[in-house]
Structures are given as C-alpha cells and as structure tokens.
Amino acid sequence: MSNHYFQLLRERFPESILEGKVHSPKRVYLTVKKESLVEVAKFVFRVMDARFSTASAVDCLDRIEILYHFSLDSQDVFISLRVVIPRERPAVPSLSGVIKGAAWIEREMHELFGVNFEGHPRLNRLLLPEDWPENVYPLRKDNQDKDIGKG
C-alpha cells in the first residue's frame, strides 16, 4: 500500500522529493526539499485527505531532521515527510497556514530544539520556566545535564 503512495508522490513531485524509503506496507518516509515542504504537505493534507498526526524533530548533531507524520486512516498508512536542515540557525517554513493543528507542535519544537518556523503567527517562547535561559534547547543532544538551564 505504502508503495503506491510512494510512487504517486514521486510522480507528482519529481523535483521536490530527494529520497524515499518504504519501511513496510504501512510506513513510508520521504525526504522533501525544504522549499517545497509546504506544497507537498498541502497536497498530502488537502488532496490526499490525510490527517496530520504530529511532527517530531531529531537532533543529529550535524543536522536537524523534522518529520511530519500524516496518517491516511482509511488505508492504514503513515506518510512521514522528512526535512533536513542545518543545525546552526535551523529554519523551515511553517505549516500552520495550511494546517491549524500544526501551530502547536511547531511551537513546541521551536522551544525544545530552537527551530525557527518561518511565517508562524506566534512563535514566542514561553513555557519552560520563566527563568529558563535563551538559546538553551533541552532536547538537543548537547544538553545532557539534568541541571541544564538552571543558570
């Protein structure tokens, strides 16, 4: 099943999809160019009518990966769009214009990973305790101390 969607998206966006991996009949991972993320996500969300489940960021030291997980509930397939961005000044276009529900998770990633979501309506940090220092992102791999951010 996932193969089918893999082919479909590949044909629809030959330029934007850099790489793809069919993990199992139910899971497919596609690496998408940062510039085309919104376009592809819009297609998956609106045209393919997938449900936006969530997004997750992973710190890989030389890069940050962000995965947007879309679920095609009736087909039991997860399509995960992966965007790879540099670790210094990471930034991606925000999906919150297309998917209202994405606003929250983007704020979370902004706070925990320091990713900048361009075009996000309210990306203000707040949440970690008030005295949390700027530019310390707890879920980055270099912050391992349990006392991080304690000043």
Partner 1 sequence: MKKLLVDYEICHRCPKCVVSCSYFFHPGNNGLTALREEIAYSLICRRCENHPCVQACPNGALKEQEGTVRRSPLLCVSCKSCSLACPFGTILPELLPYLKDRCDLCRESRLEDKQRFVCVNTCPYGALRLVEEEEIKEMKNLQLVNNTLVVKAVDWLALYGVKKL
Partner 2 sequence: MEKKKKVVVPIGPYHPLLEEPEYFALYCDGEMVVDVEWEAGYNHRGIEKLCESKSWDQVTFLVERICGICSTSHPIAYVNAVEDLAKVEIPERARYIRSIIGELERIHSHLLWVGLAGHFLGYNTVFMWAWKYREPVLDIFELVTGNRQSYAMMKIGGVRRDVRDEDIPVIRKVLDELKPKLEMLTQAVLDDPVLAARLKGVGVLTAQDVKDYGAVGPTARASGVKIDVRKDSPCAAYDLVAWQVITCQEGDVFAKAVVRLLECFESIKIIEQCLDNLGKNKGPIEVEVREIPPGEGIGHYEAPRGEVFHYVRSDGTNRPVRHKIRAPSFVNIPTFRASCLGQTISDVAIILAGVDPCYCCTERMLTVYQADNRRKIMDGREVIRLCQEKTEKLREKMRKR
Partner 3 sequence: MNLLTKALTKSLWVFHLSTGSCNNCDIEILDCLTPRYDVERFGIVLAGSIKHADVLLVTGIGTRKNAKRIQKLYQQMPKPGFVVAIGACSCSGGIFRDGYPMAGPISSLIPVDVWIPGCPPKPEAIIAGLVSLLGKLK
> What's phi and psi for 27, nearest 5 deg?
-135, 130
Sheet of 27-32, strand order: 17-24, 27-32, 77-86, 63-72, 51-59
How many residues are present in the chain? 151
- Counting contacts by CB under 8 A, is residue 144 touching partner 1? yes
- Counting contacts by CB under 8 A, is residue 149 touching partner 3? yes
* Dihedral sign for Cα atoms in the order 124, 129, 132, 135: negative
124 interacts with, out of partner 3, partner 2, partner 1, none, CB within 5 to 8 A per kind? partner 2
Binding site for partner 2 (CB under 8 A): 23-24, 26-27, 29, 51-54, 56, 58-59, 67, 69, 71, 73-74, 76, 78, 80, 99-101, 103-105, 107-108, 111-112, 121-122, 124, 126-129, 138-139
Binding site for partner 1 (CB under 8 A): 60-62, 141-142, 144
